[in-house]
Structure 1
Amino acid sequence: MKKINTRNILFIAVFVLLLLLSGNETWCQNNLALAGTATASSTEGSNTSDKAIDGNKETSWISDVGGKNKWLTVVLPGATEIKKVQASMETSSGDPIPYFAIQTFLNGSWRNQVNHTDNDQKEITLTFEKAILTDRIRLSINVDDVVIVSEFGIHGHQYVDSTATEVKKILVNQSGYNLEKPKRFTAPEVSDNTPFTIKNTSSGEEVYHGVVQNNIGDFTLFNPTTGDEYVVAIDTFTSYPFRIAPFWLEHVSYRNMIDFMIGARHYTGTSDKIRSLSWAWRDGDFFNWALQSMIALYLSNPEAYKRMEKKVSYVSNSSFPSEYEGKWGKLEPYDKNAPDIVKLIHWDVDVKISQELEHEHQKAELAHFLYAFPYFKQWLPQQNFDIVYEYLKNKWTKKVVSKKSTTQYDKSPEHNLLMLKTKMGTNKGELPPGHSVIPNLMMYEVAKKQNEADADKYFDAAYSQIEWMITNLDWKDPLTTKGQRMSEHITMRAFAYFYHQYQEKAPEGLYEKVLDWAKVMISRSDNMWDFRKYTDSGDWVPAGWNETGNILGFPACALAAASVINDKDLKNRLNQLVWSHFDDAFGRNPTGRHFSYDGPSEIEGVDLGWYSYHHGGIGLLEPVRFVFDGSPKTNHYPNHPEIGNLGWTEGWVQFNTAYNISMAYLAHSDTEIELKNTKKKILTVRLKTPLNFDPKEIDKLEIKATSSSGDSATITLKEESPYSKYLIGNIEYRGGKINTKDEVLQLKKGDEVSVSYGLGYFEKKASMVVKR
């Protein structure tokens, strides 16, 4: 059943090749560069970068004259402990190169491991007292002259983490799966057509059978209605145990999501320290998307957040020392009975307004608040809306940002949100394509309600931006997708929002652009993990990054795209990818670990958490619940658990807000509502939405039925049965009216009756016309 490690074969082949090569023995001994690929800053003629790593000193990489900064980068086949590098190099005039550095790549930047400013040798040998762990290394040269590098040798050995623990042969979502949703596992060392079984851990009974194909087992059709645990079994191997239940992911996530946001607040969360790169959230920077993520959560499933225990109380700024003065407090406080999520939304807005933050992302976030304010106004003073609206009217087109509103990561050319945005951000995640689209469309709706004569300017800006994106974004270029890291969801959500809210006004080609995106993403996910790769070939994730938030945010991208396209097969595959990426975060990945170090103690059903967590950091997130700490790096894929805890590990608010967004789109996708005339004079309402997380209890929910004349009446819905996802309720109408409790809904022939769940752009609605 076991497969031979192909990377080991590659290293053996390189070793044999080295023995056969002639020439200087020092270049032949375990030179890993021979198995690598090289790129360079420039090339003169046929003297390409690969000539510097071919083991032949008679050939060379030669740069053009260019500027001072020249470089040669070598990517190795996998994680490597580099003990020594050698370089044979000179200028075109035959002189040694005095200024050079050996660099490695981490979190988006090349970092010096060695830096020479007075080298006088053409033959360089550098031995490292402590091995450098990396899969890519760069020779950086700083001279005006042409550079000639005849050989760049890299010596070391394949990295194996001595602390890496044994990984299960069968990788599943350790916590559990949602009933009637895709349920898959990965068995990296199992051959095609190998049988697997699902076993009940209590009874030992084999309750489902299937076969493995392409290292994947699928048990989507297994939908038990019990609270038992199950395992996947293949021969003598078993997976971690898991459960299957209606809305299981929501069950283990909803309260945790809110608790994270409570704890991660700046000044008033689990730490009261003033931190750099922080405003409302510790280490949130200006592109944390926290406000829109929480608003999306509430709009997608309002009843779920109304029901939660209230843990947040208003804290006055006046009770803090003088250095906190002005950090928050310009907004009048919320009603103490507001749901915690509304209190957190108020907190974010209050900090932005109190500190007069002007970055285009910070302003754009406030548009979400204005749009959603009607759904919060029972708990928030009208002053909150008025002060934010006036602020945005004055700041929306302001081009120059105040220094206090930004950080060193700001790459915005200017901050006028009506301008066309053509610059894209980097793997840091700071400037995703289309970031101004939804905010402008929201401002358009708000301005119309405020009877502003120039409301169309917001729509025109959004239209121009979408039009530009249709024409200019190349989905094959990862910079437009996974290269935006945890901010990628901004782009596809912009397309879906425009399509659903303004379909008749949408630019030509919008639908086709979304369809093309889906095809590229599906193509890049054809692997044993159902994992969307960074490129068609090469890196699986952006090199050197802790990309945790991108995986957590991808379900929102896939759900947004699936809501637009009509192709059934593509929609079904996108739905599989939604769940495979949630599963990835919960242990179905090459490390076999959940992304949270504290997962086993904080998340029901999780057995094995991430290797470590970051001590300290700007965010001080150690005591906060539900921190997503780390995820597999490109070197872990396709299946290299032996490299263990490789690369950077650190939780970040941006990772959790990406998860918030995905959970909001998941709730919206799962919500269904029906209104039918089931019997004479009987109207039946049937609703599915993630609410009841305890199958032992029969849930109830009250919703409003509204007539076209404006009357409304309350209908009580009751869960159909244990383990049902649906709530159902009947109302009887006689004599042209509906009587429910103390309310009367007047009806006459031709009137329309409507019921809905979800709010704003996440509303799902059902209507029918009264015929008699």
Structure 2
Amino acid sequence: MKTSHLFLFVFGPLLCLAACLHPVQAQRNLSLSGRVSSSSETPNHAATLALDNDVQTYWESGAGERPWIAIRLPGATEITGFKLSFYPDGPPAEGFDFQYLLNGEWRTFHQTTGNEAEEVSIAFEKELLTDRVRLIATESRSLRIAELALWGQQYVDEGAGEVMPLLVNQSGYNLHRPKRFTAAGMADGTSFVILEKGTGREVFSGRIAGEKGDFSDFNPESNQEFLVASGDKRSFPFRIGPYWLERVSYRGMLDFMMGARHYVGNVSEKRILSFAWRDGDFFNWSMQSLVALYAANPAAFERMEVTGTYRANDSFPEDYRGLWGVLEPFSERTPDIVQLIHWDADVKVSQQLDHEMQKAELAHFLYAWPFLSRWLPRQNFDRVYAYARSVWTKASVSPHATSRYDLSPEHDLLARKTQLGSTKGEMPPGFSVIPNLMMYEVGKREGDPQAETYFDAAYRQLEWMIAHLDWEDPMTTKGQRMSEHLTMRAFAFFAQQYPDRHPPGLKAKVEEWAAWMVQRSDNLWDFRKYAEDEWTPPGWNETGNILGFPAAIFAANTILGKDHNLAPRLEEIAWAHVENAFGRNPTGRHFSFKGPEEVEGVDLGWYSRHKGGIGLLDELPFVFDGSPKNFHYPNQPEAGDLGWTEGWVQFNTAFNTSMAYLANYYTHLTYSENESGDLLIHLEAPLNFYPDQKEPVAVQLALPSGESMAVTLQETSPFSLVLEGIVEKNQSELRSGGQVLPIGDHSQVKVSYGHGFFEKSVWIPVK
């Protein structure tokens, strides 16, 4: 018998030297605590019989296949070897591989060939640290195994550190939004209080239910820090503010994207699998995340300090020529977010990237042109539009525009897309719907007689999704990893923009999705699980899925309506995923290694960060490095720093998208009249970040003829969610801030905030 070991140390902490482990008990048979599955089984010889500690019973596979038997352990475990007993009545397997699951793929750790023995014992030279393994035969014939014993010890990471008994969003919560915490192991009915840090004064009380507590009704207008207490147990301190999440995130989100740009970011080195963004590949969704952010809350990004400048291509070495620069530069003082949008489009057109997902992103740029044109030259639109139209239906992809992760059978964006991607996240259902609907709007705007073909393609695609997507199958939801949000956003865009033209069954399909999401989130973390018996996609660093899931929820809730019976619970779940990223998770850690130094209020960052990698992202601000893995759930913090850790542009763009949809969901524009008959305009939007500062915003008041004036709104109080402005009105004109808008013959005026599909507007009668 010949054996060999393949030590894949490059894949990180799943393979760990004994020196970094702390055994908590003697060597034992781990199989007895595991769950078993197999390729097949015959009557009376189920796979469970290979794990029953009885050599008189056995598992027997079917014929005509490479049989396998897999064991899933309760958590990450140090496996030191295995013992395999074949049932004597039949020849043993001559060859078999012992494998473990990593990043969704089975990887071979030990190989055996030329075996003739009925009993095989293998002691590994180096421990294997994992939570699931399988044994697979190298031949396609029936296999009889009497017993498969895994030898090893439960794993405890001495560097895991003590986890707080009450787990909260370490940074803080938004006023008048869901606020929850987890109290693992605590009995229903146990009382808790919110304490004012420093004084110890009790300011709120409640009771724990389902190992969690809710203090959503606690909305203090205060700059104080608070903490949760129950008996002698305490949480980390936190703050509560009008738009706390936006306050601690918006600047970091842009700083990360500025630095992560390929060639011109904080690293100028050319990288593989990178186009506009380092380690961005073709499915990073950057353009649409940035356009959505700007469209949802433009004033917040226009008032930010401008940190970027245009970097000319000809100022770089010769081998950088042509990688960007086809689009003319933006004007001075262009907001950083618009600079990022310009960069993404420039690289795509300059390099003539024709992968279906790359060219689909250009539709977002073209659709957004009416609110980008203030900053960019018309040449930008013309070049992007001409290029997008020339390649939209091109079925092939150029070799330089794709990568090894490409699963697209063809690249014609008018074709119906029925391919379901893997857990890499490279092909989410419905990714072409919004781009085609945007091209339809652009075509109408530009007088394209073929504009309707884009709408027809989007309709056919959503029609197929309604008929064929099975929400019970996690590969249509959480299995799409950080790209999952594209699917539900496609439903929302169609429903909101074309309420009378969308395919039948749309709302019912979304209601079905919502019911599954609520069912899978019924746990102590309010965390949407991968499946009934699986918390996260097996083996994957799913950080971006958690960060992007709120976008899917807020998109769904715009279809269901806030009065729908599932909407409040979905809203809780959305915020719970933000809380998860900020420390309300089994590890008790924020997803960013540098969280404590970069994010206001964060106490404990992720265990580690990945140095180097394709993207060279570790030195950037606001990197989301890692998140709890399957073996940390439901509550195993002692597992510590296990599984792969590495920031990825795709994780940040998922968070960008969630922040855009969150802003849109909570933005409301209304008006009233005072006793004098003047207009009062009210805007609720994420704009009041600092209660001790005035943060005004301007909204546009426009006549049907196109004439307009800006109206400045101010916070109604230091901790208000709403800004308000007054417009003086008489029979002939409107006045605000020294500006005058003659009414003429018009009987109404439009006030708006936001852009495109996120615009909020209301028509106000003025006569």
Match of residue 71, structure 1, among 60, 68, 71: 68
Report the alpha carbon displacement of residue 679 of structure 1 after superposing the two structures with TM.
3.5
The separation in 1 between residues aligned to 2:436 and 2:406, in whole angstroms, is: 21
Report the alpha carbon displacement of residue 760 of structure 1 after superposing the two structures with TM.
0.3
Moved more, 229-238 or 113-122: 113-122
**Residue 62 of structure 1 corresponds to which residue in structure 2?**
60
**Residue 646 of structure 1 corresponds to which residue in structure 2?**
642
Q: Does 1:475 align with 2:471?
A: yes
Q: Residues 91 and 97 of structure 1 are in contact (CA less than 8 Å); yes or no, is this contact kept in structure 2?
A: no
Q: Does 1:621 align with 2:617?
A: yes
Task: Give a deviation string over 1:422-464, Cα, whole Å, max 9, x none.
Answer: 1111111110011110001001111111111111111111111
The separation in 1 between residues aligned to 2:44 and 2:415, in whole angstroms, is: 44
Q: Does 1:404 align with 2:400?
A: yes
The separation in 2 between residues aligned to 1:598 and 1:444, in whole angstroms, is: 43
Q: Residues 707 and 751 of structure 1 are in contact (CA less than 8 Å); yes or no, is this contact kept in structure 2?
A: no
Aligned pairs for 1:683-762 within 5 A: 683-740=679-736, 743-747=739-743, 751-762=747-758
Q: Residues 553 and 574 of structure 2 are in contact (CA less than 8 Å); yes or no, is this contact kept in structure 1?
A: yes
Provide the identity percentage: 53
Aligned pairs for 1:40-439 within 5 A: 40-67=38-65, 69-89=66-86, 94-439=90-435
**Residue 560 of structure 2 corresponds to which residue in structure 1?**
565
Aligned residue type for 2:638 = E
The separation in 2 between residues aligned to 1:145 and 1:189, in whole angstroms, is: 48
Q: Residues 90 and 147 of structure 1 are in contact (CA less than 8 Å); yes or no, is this contact kept in structure 2?
A: no
**Residue 575 of structure 2 corresponds to which residue in structure 1?**
579
**Residue 33 of structure 1 corresponds to which residue in structure 2?**
31
The separation in 2 between residues aligned to 1:433 and 1:103, in whole angstroms, is: 31
Normalised by the size of structure 2, how large is the TM-score?
0.94
Residues 592 and 737 of structure 1: is their aligned pair in 2 closer, same or farther, counting only changes over 3 Å? same
Residues 280 and 91 of structure 1: is their aligned pair in 2 closer, same or farther, counting only changes over 3 Å? farther
The separation in 2 between residues aligned to 1:617 and 1:115, in whole angstroms, is: 29
Q: Does 1:546 align with 2:544?
A: no
Matched residue SS, 2:750: strand
Q: Residues 78 and 155 of structure 2 are in contact (CA less than 8 Å); yes or no, is this contact kept in structure 1?
A: yes
Task: Give a deviation string over 1:720-769, Cα, whole Å, max 9, x none.
Answer: 11111111111112232123456532325762211111100011111122
Task: Give a deviation string over 1:59-114, Cα, whole Å, max 9, x none.
Answer: 333333334x432211122221111112234899x544333211111111111111
Q: Residues 596 and 627 of structure 1 are in contact (CA less than 8 Å); yes or no, is this contact kept in structure 2?
A: yes
Task: Give a deviation string over 1:554-602, Cα, whole Å, max 9, x none.
Answer: 1111111111113433111111111111000000111110000100000
The separation in 1 between residues aligned to 2:215 and 2:737, in whole angstroms, is: 45
Residues 90 and 404 of structure 1: is their aligned pair in 2 closer, same or farther, counting only changes over 3 Å? farther
Aligned residue type for 1:48 = A
The separation in 2 between residues aligned to 1:732 and 1:746, in whole angstroms, is: 12
Matched residue SS, 2:224: coil
Q: Residues 700 and 753 of structure 2 are in contact (CA less than 8 Å); yes or no, is this contact kept in structure 1?
A: no
Moved more, 40-49 or 458-467: 40-49
Task: Give a deviation string over 1:696-721, Cα, whole Å, max 9, x none.
Answer: 01222222111223321221212111
Q: Residues 88 and 118 of structure 2 are in contact (CA less than 8 Å); yes or no, is this contact kept in structure 1?
A: no
Unaligned residue ranges in structure 1 (runs of 5+): 1-27
Task: Give a deviation string over 1:653-706, Cα, whole Å, max 9, x none.
Answer: 111100000000111111111122334441111111111211001222222111
The separation in 2 between residues aligned to 1:282 and 1:86, in whole angstroms, is: 45
The separation in 1 between residues aligned to 2:493 and 2:398, in whole angstroms, is: 31
The separation in 2 between residues aligned to 1:120 and 1:415, in whole angstroms, is: 51
The separation in 1 between residues aligned to 2:113 and 2:345, in whole angstroms, is: 50
Matched residue SS, 2:133: strand
Report the alpha carbon displacement of residue 325 of structure 1 after superposing the two structures with TM.
1.8
The separation in 2 between residues aligned to 1:469 and 1:166, in whole angstroms, is: 46
Report the alpha carbon displacement of residue 191 of structure 1 after superposing the two structures with TM.
1.4
The separation in 1 between residues aligned to 2:88 and 2:452, in whole angstroms, is: 60
Q: Residues 750 and 769 of structure 1 are in contact (CA less than 8 Å); yes or no, is this contact kept in structure 2?
A: no
The separation in 1 between residues aligned to 2:708 and 2:594, in whole angstroms, is: 47
The separation in 2 between residues aligned to 1:516 and 1:508, in whole angstroms, is: 14
Q: Residues 326 and 349 of structure 2 are in contact (CA less than 8 Å); yes or no, is this contact kept in structure 1?
A: yes
Matched residue SS, 2:28: coil
Moved more, 622-631 or 329-338: 329-338
Matched residue SS, 2:560: coil
The separation in 2 between residues aligned to 1:716 and 1:428, in whole angstroms, is: 46
Q: Residues 84 and 126 of structure 1 are in contact (CA less than 8 Å); yes or no, is this contact kept in structure 2?
A: yes
Matched residue SS, 1:503: coil
Matched residue SS, 2:545: helix
Supply the RMSD in Å over aligned alpha carbons: 1.8
The separation in 2 between residues aligned to 1:283 and 1:593, in whole angstroms, is: 25
Aligned residues: 741
Moved more, 746-755 or 702-711: 746-755
Moved more, 47-56 or 231-240: 47-56
The separation in 1 between residues aligned to 2:148 and 2:373, in whole angstroms, is: 66
The separation in 2 between residues aligned to 1:553 and 1:423, in whole angstroms, is: 22
